[in-house]
Chain A
Amino acid sequence: MLRFIVLFISTCIFTICSDPTLNISTKIKAESLKQKSTIEIMPRILFLTEYPCMECHHEIEKKDKILLPLKQPHNLMKFDHMDNIKNCFLCHDRFNYDQLRLIDGSTLSYNNSQNLCFQCHGEKKKDWEMGIHGQQIGKWNGKKFRDTCVECHNPHEPTFPQMKADPPPPFPKLGINKHGMH
C-alpha cells in the first residue's frame, strides 16, 4: 500500500515538473520582452508647406489677438475648434511662430504636436501611445510607423472628414431588397 502511495505521488510530481506547457509560457514572455517593437513617429514638419514660419513673419506682431480671416497664404483656413476661445495664441507661440505653446507657457515643436492635443484630449493619450488610436503601419513584431494627430485631424477643423466609400458589392441577381432603397 505504502509503495503505491509513494509511486502515485512521485508520478504526479514528475508529470507536473515535465509539463511542457509550463515551460513554453515563460519562454514566450522572455522572448517578447526581448523583441520590443520600435516606433517611429512621422515628423510633421516634413509635411508643412509654409514652414519655417519666421521666414515670412520677420517681425513679431504687436497685437496679442489675431482676427479671422487671415491673409494669404493662410486665407483658406477655417476655424471650427473650441469656437468660444478663438485665440490663436492659446496653441501657437506668440513670440516664435515656428513653435507651438502648451498651457503652462512652454514651447513645443510641430513634430510633437500630439502633446498639445493631449492636454485636453487625455483619453486619447494612452491609446495613441499604445498604437491603437489612429493608423499604425509597419511590422507587428518590429518597426512601426505612426503619425501625429494632425495627419488625420486638421487642428483647426478637427472633425474627421466624411469620405466617399468604395463601391458596394454587386447586388445578387435573386437578391431581396429589404430596405426599400436602390
Chain B
Amino acid sequence: MINYLQYWLKITIYICSGGKKYFTWIGFLLLLISAGVFAYYQQFKYGLLLTNMTDEVSWGVYIANFTFLVGVAAAAVLLVVPTYVYGREDVKEVVIFGELMAVSAIIMCMLFVMVDLGHPDRFMHLIPKIGRLNFPSSILAWDIIVLNVYLFINVHVSSYLLYKKYLGEAPSSFYYKPLVFLSIGWAISIHTVTAFLYSGLGGRPYWNSAILASRFLVSAFASGPALMAIVFVIINKISHSNIKPSVIDLLRKILQFTLPLNLFLLFCEVFKEFYTNSVHTMSISYLFFGINGYGMLQPFIWTAIILSSIASLIFLSPFSKRKIVLIIASVMTVLSVWIEKGMGLIIPGFIPTPLGDLVEYTPSIIESVVSMGIWALGTLLFTLMIKAAIGIETGAISKIKK
C-alpha cells in the first residue's frame, strides 16, 4: 500500500517538473479548461437555451464530438492487435500510449455527454440498481455499459503494466492478457454500438442505413492512427523515449488502406441517395448543395472531402515517409474525419425534421468554448499520463534507485 502511494507521489512530482515549453503547454490547456468551466457554469445556470440546439436540431456539437471521440478510443485496437496477436516487439513499446489515448478519449466522451444532458444532476438514474437502466432495448444504455467497461479495461491494463514496470517486476499474464484480448473485440463493439444509436432510428432516413456501422469503424481507423502518428512524432521529438520508425510506418500503412476506404464508403452512401432521388435525399442535398441558398454545412463537407482525398493521395505516395508530410496529412485526416463524422453526419440527420421543418444549426459561443474546454481537459490528461508513462518506461520513475 505504501509502495502504491509512493508510486503516485513520484508520478505527481515527475509530472510537476519539466521545461519551459512543457509548462507553457500545460498553462495554455489550463486556460482553455477554465474558460470551458466558466462557460459550462453559464449553461448550467441558464439552461441549454444558451446553445443553438432547438427542438428541430436537438443534438449538436457535443454529440458530434462524442461520436468522433468514441472512434478515436476504438482505434487503440490497431496497436493492441499487432502487439498481442502478431507479436510485434516494436509496437509493444507504444501500445500503452494507445491505451492511454483511449482512456482520455473515453473520459472526453463521457464529459461531452454530461454537458449535453438537460438534467445532469439526474445522471444517477442511469446506474442500473440505483436508477433504471433500460438495458436491452435502449442502445444508449448499451453504449453507457460498453464505454464504462472499455474505460475500466484500458485503465486497468495500462496502470497494471506501468506499475509493474515501476516496480521492476515482470507483469503476470493472468492479470492483463485476458482483458487485452477482450478489449480487441470490445473496441470494435463500442464503435458499433455508437453507430447503432443512429442507424436504428426509422424516423431519420439519413441515418437509417446499414452501412453506418462500417463507415464509423473505418473512419475511426482512419482518424485514430492519424492522431496517434501525430502524437508519436511529437513524443519522439520532445522526450527521450524512442519510438521506432517501424511503428509510424505501420500506422502509415493502416492509413493507406482505411482512408481511401472511408472515401469509398462515403461515395456509396452518396450514390445511393442521389441515384434513388427519393424525397429523403433532402438531408444529403442540404449537406452538399444547400437548400434555397441556405447552406451552412456546405463549406465544411466539401473541405472534408478535399482534405480527405489529398491526404489519401499523400499516404498512398512515397512522400508520406517524410515526417513533416506525414504530420500534415495526418492533421488533414483528423480534420476531415471530424467534419464528416461530426457535423456532416449528426446535423443533416435533423434537416429536414420528420415533419419537413428546416432549421439550421451552428454551434453557439458557449458550446464552442465548452467543447474546447473538454478537448483541452482530455489533452491535459493525455499529456500528463504520457509524461508519466514515458517516465516509467524510460526508468526515470522507478522504485529501484539507480
Instruction: Name the distance in Å between B216's Cβ and chain A's nearest Cβ.
Output: 27
Contact residues in B for A177 (Cβ distance below 8 Å): 292
B54 within 8 A of A: yes
Contact residues in B for A173 (Cβ distance below 8 Å): 52, 54
CB neighbors of A among B353-370 (8 A): 357-362
A174 and B51 alpha carbons, distance in the complex (Å): 12
Cβ B291 vs Cβ A172 within 8 A:
no
Contact residues in B for A172 (Cβ distance below 8 Å): 54, 56, 357, 359
A173 and B54 alpha carbons, distance in the complex (Å): 9
A178 within 8 A of B: yes
Cβ A176 vs Cβ B362 within 8 A:
no
Q: Which residue on chain B has the smallest CB distance to residue A172? A: B359
Cβ A174 vs Cβ B360 within 8 A:
yes
Cβ A175 vs Cβ B359 within 8 A:
yes
Contact residues in B for A176 (Cβ distance below 8 Å): 291-292, 294, 351, 358-360
Cβ B54 vs Cβ A174 within 8 A:
yes
Cβ A178 vs Cβ B359 within 8 A:
no
Contact residues in A for B291 (Cβ distance below 8 Å): 176, 178
Cβ A174 vs Cβ B292 within 8 A:
no
CB neighbors of B among A130-182 (8 A): 172-178, 180
Q: How many chain B residues have a CB neighbour from A under 8 Å? A: 13
A175 and B57 alpha carbons, distance in the complex (Å): 10
Contact residues in B for A180 (Cβ distance below 8 Å): 292
Indicate which residue in B52, B54, B358 contacts A178 across the interface (CB closer than 8 Å): B358
Instruction: Name the distance in Å between A27's Cβ and chain B's nearest Cβ.
Output: 31
Residue of B52, B351, B358 contacting most chain A CB atoms (<10 Å):
B358
A177 and B54 alpha carbons, distance in the complex (Å): 16
CB neighbors of B among A66-120 (8 A): none
Instruction: Name the distance in Å between B109's Cβ and chain A's nearest Cβ.
Output: 27
Q: Which residue on chain B has the smallest CB distance to residue A171? A: B359
Chain B 44-71 interface mask (CB, 8 Å, partner A; 1/0): 0000000010101000000000000000
Contact residues in A for B359 (Cβ distance below 8 Å): 172, 174-176
Instruction: Name the distance in Å between A177's Cβ and chain B's nearest Cβ.
Output: 7
A180 and B294 alpha carbons, distance in the complex (Å): 12
Contact residues in A for B54 (Cβ distance below 8 Å): 172-174
Contact residues in B for A178 (Cβ distance below 8 Å): 291-292, 358
Instruction: Name the distance in Å between B251's Cβ and chain A's nearest Cβ.
Output: 39
A175 and B362 alpha carbons, distance in the complex (Å): 12
Residue of A173, A174, A176, A180 contacting most chain B CB atoms (<10 Å):
A176
Q: Which residue on chain A has the smallest CB distance to residue B282? A: A178
Chain B 332-369 interface mask (CB, 8 Å, partner A; 1/0): 00000000000000000001000001111110000000
A174 and B56 alpha carbons, distance in the complex (Å): 10
A180 and B292 alpha carbons, distance in the complex (Å): 9
Contact residues in A for B361 (Cβ distance below 8 Å): 174
Residue of A173, A174, A175 contacting most chain B CB atoms (<10 Å):
A174
Contact residues in A for B362 (Cβ distance below 8 Å): 174
A178 and B360 alpha carbons, distance in the complex (Å): 12
Instruction: Name the distance in Å between A162's Cβ and chain B's nearest Cβ.
Output: 25
Q: Which residue on chain A has the smallest CB distance to residue B356? A: A178
Contact residues in B for A175 (Cβ distance below 8 Å): 357-360
Contact residues in A for B360 (Cβ distance below 8 Å): 174-176
Instruction: Name the distance in Å between B199's Cβ and chain A's nearest Cβ.
Output: 26
Q: Which residue on chain A has the smallest CB distance to residue B296? A: A174
Q: Which residue on chain A has the smallest CB distance to residue B54? A: A172
A174 and B292 alpha carbons, distance in the complex (Å): 14
Q: Which residue on chain A has the smallest CB distance to residue B358? A: A176
Contact residues in A for B358 (Cβ distance below 8 Å): 175-176, 178
Residue of A172, A173, A180 contacting most chain B CB atoms (<10 Å):
A172
Residues of B within 8 A of A (CB): 52, 54, 56, 291-292, 294, 351, 357-362
Beyond contacts A173-B54, A176-B292, A176-B358: 9 other A-B pairs, Cβ-Cβ < 8 A, are: A172-B56, A172-B359, A174-B52, A174-B361, A175-B359, A175-B360, A176-B359, A176-B360, A180-B292
Identify 20 residue pairs between A and B in the complex whose beta-carbon atoms are under 8 Å apart, listed by A's number: A172-B56, A172-B357, A173-B52, A173-B54, A174-B52, A174-B359, A174-B360, A174-B361, A174-B362, A175-B357, A175-B358, A175-B359, A175-B360, A176-B292, A176-B294, A176-B351, A176-B359, A178-B292, A178-B358, A180-B292
